[in-house]
Structure 1
Amino acid sequence: MEQQATAPRPLPPVDVEQAEAALIEHYPRLVRLGYLVLPPALGRNRRVLTAHALVQRALPRNRVTTTELTGLAVPAPRGGAGSPADPGYAYVRQRVLRAALEAGRPRGRWQLPKPGQLPPLLPQVWGLRLFPRSGGADELALDQALAALSGPGRAAYVLRVLELPSDSDVRQVLKAAGVEDPAAAVVEASGLRTPAGSRDASLLESMEFDPCSLQARPTDLMRRRQHARAALAAAAAAAVCGTLLVLPGSGWGPDGAAAPPYAQNAAAQQALDPAKLTRASTGTWKRADRSGFAVWPARGDRTDDQELLRRALAVWARPGSSVRVTSTPGTATGPAAGPPQLLYAGEVGQATVVVFHDGLRLVRYAEAKNGDTGGAALDFARADAADGDSATAVVVGRADGNVRYLTAPWVSEVAVRDLLKPGESAQPLRTAADGVTDPTISPAPTNDCRSWPALQMGGRLVTDLGELTPARLTVGAPDGQHDVTGPAARADWAHTACHLQTMRSQGVRSVNSWTFATQPLPGGAAGSAEWLCTRAETWRGAGSRVLALFQPPGARPGAASPPVARAEDSPACGAHDPHALAGVLWKSPAGNWYALAAGSDDVESIAATGAVQATASGRLLAVPAKPGARSALTARLTDGKKLTAIH
């Protein structure tokens, strides 16, 4: 039942000193508020830095008038004297709330970004990723539930739990922060289901949501080194080009969106000549010892259009300033070393598309269907060592949330399957004679995971992660990965699919889901929980991502398993380290807390140290624990080696 709202009373003017005193006194509280309201799509590192920046920019430039404070109530504190209730705090809180909400609003095409939508100038940390400490399964489940809310709904939930005593006060503060429909935001927040047995306020007050108590990890060291080298090379190239641009040249001519020529040598000239493009014959893939992009024939109705091919090669070699260039991590965007292979040239939707392969990379050139090169695009992706399993398709077109694929010549049938509905049959997808599919829905690039389309190509299952090549999905132990076939494998992926959102645009080649343990639950609970390890391998080798998931019994098909551990550039659950160990705090239906841990088949014993101290023979551990208890896990393998938990 809603508490009686406190009538807002007129607030006196607030000066800079009063606002600064409130900000300093309640800085952790304000940063937590900003962190929770900011869009989860920013990622935890960016949200942490942006929340600190928003709070630090919340001070007024001068004295705040009474008019500026209109609508800012100072209600009776939630929980007594422990909550701030003064005009200075109300003003700063409103500034932080407004900026955090603005960061999540869509921006018009010609509209300047708001402060919260820009990377923060200060504070800034170079070479490190900062993120709050991970909590238990309840905190992770609540974090996922908050991510599914809109910005106003998330703000309403956080204000209700942490700040204000009544829904009327929440609506009043949301309205003052610029929310168009505060009542709808409160209703949306009311519909959020907190994890079973959670303690609401103490969950939001846990370390999982504390951006002032942080863990630090290095960024991608290899990528930093590559970027530093690329920056030096770019600076040198810019200096050379700046000099050459003042020299007479042959102009733009038929090269379309290509920049003016900057070099003349035999290899570069051959790479620009459409007549020297290599082409695999139609039946090469049937006779080849090894399948891959190198045996794809040239397809499409424009493979003989010399002017189109010349424009595409020239733009690849010298992309002009109007060309949109994208690349997957670790992919060079320079010109070809020699004549590349032509895979496709034709019209796809409202665009004309050319796809090349130079042995290491796939390159897609796209221009308007009418030949206008003003909005040309150039996309690069690693494709070295591709085989029959990973060279199944290439994305040739994206429009309005749909995607079209050019399929491998050995793919005879294509169907679309929703990973979140493992019991439903795959729907056939028409493929033209040149190998291009009809448009099909691509997974939405948001945290609203209501479906996850994937392509079934024979026995192989692949999905679009926002790149030129779809990622192959597999199941099984690292030394026995196989295609996703059968109800059990599809059921595992139904609980894992939504976590693919964190792997978009990372150059992912394949993702494997491995159920490494099944654990009977203690405390009289019925059923057993499953432990899964999901590992994403990239084309460049480095940059792998590992998630440990805990799936309690009784979850509906398609419900995402709560992640209990994350790791980057880790060999865990892979060919070089085919082991897994993870733990979680779990609350039984009777209200008792337990520390659970599980390891893969070759784990001989598990030990927990810290707040929970226990040992167990075998690969399962379950002991009583206190809420919020933190411990470190180690295991001993059957060969005597030590194994640490995924982290």
Structure 2
Amino acid sequence: MLDDRDRPSDGREDLEAALVLHYSRLVRIAYLALPPEGDRHGRVLAAHAIVQRALPGGGGWWLDPRGRRLRKAGGDSYAVLRAVVVRSVLRGSRRSRVLYQPYVWGLRLFPLGGGSEEMQMDAALRELTTTARMAYVLLALEGLPADEIRALLTRAGASGVPAALASAERLSAEHLAEVLKSSEFDPCTLRTRPTDLSRRRLRVRAATGATAAALTLGVAAVVGFSGSGPDGAAGGTAGTADAAAQASVRVAADAWRESARIDFGVWPARGDDAESGTKVGQALEAWTVPHSDVFRLGPGASEAPPVSPVHVLWNGHVDGAAVVLLYDTTRLARYTVPDHPTADDPVRLDVVRADDSDVTTAGAVVLRSTAAGDRWLVAPWVDTVAVRDVKAPDVLAKSMAFPDGVTGVVPRPVVSTCGSWPVLQMQSSPQIAEHHTFLLADLGGVTGTHLTYTPPPKAGPALAPREGTGPDALVAESRVVCGLGSLQGRDVKQINTWSFAQQTLPANQGVATWVCLRADDWTGVGTSTGEFLPPAARVPATVTGTEEDGKSCTRFDQNVVAQTRWRGPDGRTYLLVAGSRHVVKLGVADASGAVRTTVPAPDHTAATPMSEAAAMAAGSAGAAVGILDTGATVRAFHP
């Protein structure tokens, strides 16, 4: 095989052979060094355009992107082509790169993607100037000595060459050069995605009169170019239309005041870099082409890339990381690039469901988590923010400032000891609801978990869940909150603590409370857990049973029965059973499921003395049965 780099040539034919032989390497150089403005789709096309126009024009002269003659061909063919690519990247304007890009209609093109090391490298390259990026590529990928790089950049007309070379050498010491050979930086092996299909007809109409051409990116340099120039034909607006389809949406700061729908869709764009599109483009790329060791998909969330313009909710730097928060009407995507990534704090993209959010469930999201705790980004309709320890219901919440919507560091719950359980207590603007105060807890996800409370039953219609901020609610939540550790990382949307029954215990031992803890995920499924709360506030709650993926303890199924064993002060063991408001009798079923004995339950509870063996058998079999006022039966949750 011809290795053109090993022999000098003055002829165009040898230059063409060198271009074919080293096409992918030259395109990679251009792609890596090009400014990171926009997205990877545009950089891919620009890199191919630069290399495809690297051959000299008529008479052996090269033409720059503006059609001006530069120099005659001569010397090592590959080195000459590389010098032209370097010069085109450093001198070419963004406008000229767009004008001479190949046609691409209806598709977005992206390299295949790599892993966290590649994303760290990409983030590091984005922090450099174009000259420094080119110096690093020549040093790390091409293996050129510093003196040769300095001379090549100087001949190309670059400024600040010494500083650029110093930056390149520092980056070379921090990152392995092999990373540059990854598929993440290969603009010749590509994945395709459609543009916004719903706008396809509009884009076609907007591009009337344009010359459409299919694109095959490879060693063949015979493709159409948009714009006009020495080697290009008249073109259209496909690239511009595609870019518009992917453009992000930024909502006005007061949009929520005029909206009848209060959710993430009316959050404004905030952050110290809110107007910049660089990190937003990087986040969109990470969402479009997921990296397996970076992408984190929440339960029930679609892994498909966004197909419509996304809302930018935050773009800035917080606690040692660049963070971008995006919303595509059904999902939230949080893109985090730490300044110094580690195994415990890596580059990552979290995508979670956020459909059907409201004033509370869209009240705040976890913007950044570190060892110190969480920074929350608060909804624009929130007037006050405080931190409350649910484990200490009698302690007042502590107010917290939230400049630009970002709270101070809020400690996360220590699940192992459950010594405290901090939550956010927020009050919404009177324009949304008068004196509306609500709680959001961190269960390890992006969105907060809304805490509500349903008080014990009274005469009349069933009570609806209310905000978990009242005195009775806080006391009940303090008793059950330690059980929330099992829900961490499950993307729980709301937890309701329902006190469905109260029971006077035998031997005048006080009044116990029966609770159903209902945890609803964003997916619509949920878990119901029965808990028994002894009268003594410091005695931990007893879990009596659980129903996975059911609808118990919701407005669609308000009938519930629970049981537990309880030992009185005289040493006697009782089977305690309780039911919700429509349970009029309580009984015990045998192993076959037949109900053998029942007792009236005017207060929906019963306490039956039993031998230790019988109580253990009944408790382990989940044999308690409630008979409703309709005659139907309800079985207790399984332990």
- Partner in structure 1 of residue 628 of structure 2: 637
Q: 2:426 aligns with which of 457, 475, 499?
A: 457
- Partner in structure 1 of residue 216 of structure 2: none
Q: Distance in 2 between matches of 1:242 and 1:311?
A: 12
- Partner in structure 2 of residue 64 of structure 1: none
Aligned 8 A contact 1:535 1:545 in 2: yes
Q: Shift of residue 575 of structure 1?
A: 1.5
Q: Shift of residue 330 of structure 1?
A: 1.4
Q: Distance in 1 between matches of 2:422 and 2:247?
A: 39
Letter in 1 for 2:523: R
- Which stretch of structure 1 is more off in the superposition, 274-283 or 459-468? 274-283
Which one has the largest radius of gyration? 2
Q: 2:194 aligns with which of 265, 269, 272?
A: 265
Q: Kindly indicate whether residue 589 of structure 2 is the aligned counterpart of residue 603 of structure 1.
A: no
Please provide the CA RMSD for this pair. 3.1
Q: Distance in 2 between matches of 1:372 and 1:314?
A: 22
Q: Shift of residue 609 of structure 1?
A: 2.3
Residue 191 of structure 2 aligns to a residue whose secondary structure is: coil
Q: Kindly indicate whether residue 357 of structure 2 is the aligned counterpart of residue 386 of structure 1.
A: yes
- Partner in structure 1 of residue 551 of structure 2: 571
Q: Distance in 2 between matches of 1:275 and 1:595?
A: 63
Letter in 1 for 2:355: D
- Partner in structure 2 of residue 194 of structure 1: none
Letter in 1 for 2:500: F
Aligned 8 A contact 1:383 1:539 in 2: yes
Letter in 2 for 1:468: V
- Partner in structure 2 of residue 586 of structure 1: 566
User: Normalised by the size of structure 2, how large is the TM-score?
Assistant: 0.58
**Following superposition of structure 1 onto structure 2, how do residues 250-329 of structure 1 map, counting pairs within 5 Å?**
261-263=190-192, 265-267=194-196, 276-320=247-291, 323-329=293-299
Q: Kindly indicate whether residue 319 of structure 2 is the aligned counterpart of residue 349 of structure 1.
A: yes
- Call closer, same or farther: CA 1:608–1:339 in 2, change over 3 Å: same
Aligned 8 A contact 1:548 1:563 in 2: yes
- Call closer, same or farther: CA 1:592–1:371 in 2, change over 3 Å: closer
Q: Shift of residue 244 of structure 1?
A: 7.8
Q: Shift of residue 334 of structure 1?
A: 2.6
Letter in 2 for 1:606: L
Letter in 1 for 2:311: Q
Residue 639 of structure 1 aligns to a residue whose secondary structure is: coil
Q: Distance in 2 between matches of 1:333 and 1:561?
A: 39
Q: Kindly indicate whether residue 481 of structure 2 is the aligned counterpart of residue 497 of structure 1.
A: yes
Residue 385 of structure 1 aligns to a residue whose secondary structure is: coil
**Following superposition of structure 1 onto structure 2, how do residues 369-380 of structure 1 map, counting pairs within 5 Å?**
369=339, 375-380=346-351
Letter in 1 for 2:532: F
Q: Shift of residue 310 of structure 1?
A: 1.5
Letter in 1 for 2:268: P
- Call closer, same or farther: CA 1:274–1:441 in 2, change over 3 Å: farther
- Partner in structure 1 of residue 409 of structure 2: 439
Q: Shift of residue 339 of structure 1?
A: 1.5
Q: Shift of residue 461 of structure 1?
A: 0.7
Letter in 2 for 1:644: R
Q: Kindly indicate whether residue 472 of structure 2 is the aligned counterpart of residue 488 of structure 1.
A: yes
Q: Deviations over 1:563-593 (max 9, x none)?
A: 1111211211112101221011111011001
Aligned 8 A contact 2:377 2:405 in 1: yes
Aligned 8 A contact 1:341 1:356 in 2: yes
Q: Distance in 1 between matches of 2:379 and 2:245?
A: 23
- Partner in structure 1 of residue 536 of structure 2: 554
**Following superposition of structure 1 onto structure 2, how do residues 396-411 of structure 1 map, counting pairs within 5 Å?**
396-411=367-382
Letter in 2 for 1:296: W
Q: Shift of residue 303 of structure 1?
A: 1.5
**Following superposition of structure 1 onto structure 2, how do residues 174-323 of structure 1 map, counting pairs within 5 Å?**
261-263=190-192, 265-267=194-196, 276-320=247-291, 323=293
- Call closer, same or farther: CA 1:264–1:420 in 2, change over 3 Å: closer
Aligned 8 A contact 1:259 1:320 in 2: no
Aligned 8 A contact 1:258 1:320 in 2: no
- Partner in structure 2 of residue 161 of structure 1: none
Residue 614 of structure 1 aligns to a residue whose secondary structure is: strand
- Call closer, same or farther: CA 1:371–1:528 in 2, change over 3 Å: closer
Q: Shift of residue 356 of structure 1?
A: 0.3
Aligned 8 A contact 1:279 1:297 in 2: yes
Q: Deviations over 1:316-370 (max 9, x none)?
A: 111345x522222111233111221111101111001000000110000111348
Residue 448 of structure 1 aligns to a residue whose secondary structure is: coil
Q: State how many pairs are aligned.
A: 396
Q: Deviations over 1:461-489 (max 9, x none)?
A: 11000000010000006850000122111
Q: Kindly indicate whether residue 522 of structure 2 is the aligned counterpart of residue 539 of structure 1.
A: yes
- Call closer, same or farther: CA 1:579–1:347 in 2, change over 3 Å: same
Q: Deviations over 1:215-266 (max 9, x none)?
A: xxxxxxxxxxxxxxxxxxxxxxxxxx99989xxxxx9978979676411533
Aligned 8 A contact 2:454 2:465 in 1: yes
- Partner in structure 1 of residue 599 of structure 2: 616
Percent identical: 32
Q: Distance in 1 between matches of 2:262 and 2:251?
A: 12
Residue 281 of structure 1 aligns to a residue whose secondary structure is: coil
Residue 629 of structure 1 aligns to a residue whose secondary structure is: helix
Q: Distance in 1 between matches of 2:280 and 2:582?
A: 55
Aligned 8 A contact 1:614 1:623 in 2: no
Q: Kindly indicate whether residue 496 of structure 2 is the aligned counterpart of residue 512 of structure 1.
A: yes
Q: Distance in 1 between matches of 2:243 and 2:254?
A: 27
- Call closer, same or farther: CA 1:479–1:529 in 2, change over 3 Å: closer
- Partner in structure 1 of residue 169 of structure 2: none
Q: Distance in 1 between matches of 2:422 and 2:262?
A: 26
**Following superposition of structure 1 onto structure 2, how do residues 114-129 of structure 1 map, counting pairs within 5 Å?**
none
Q: Distance in 1 between matches of 2:413 and 2:537?
A: 22
Q: Distance in 2 between matches of 1:456 and 1:494?
A: 15
Letter in 2 for 1:513: T
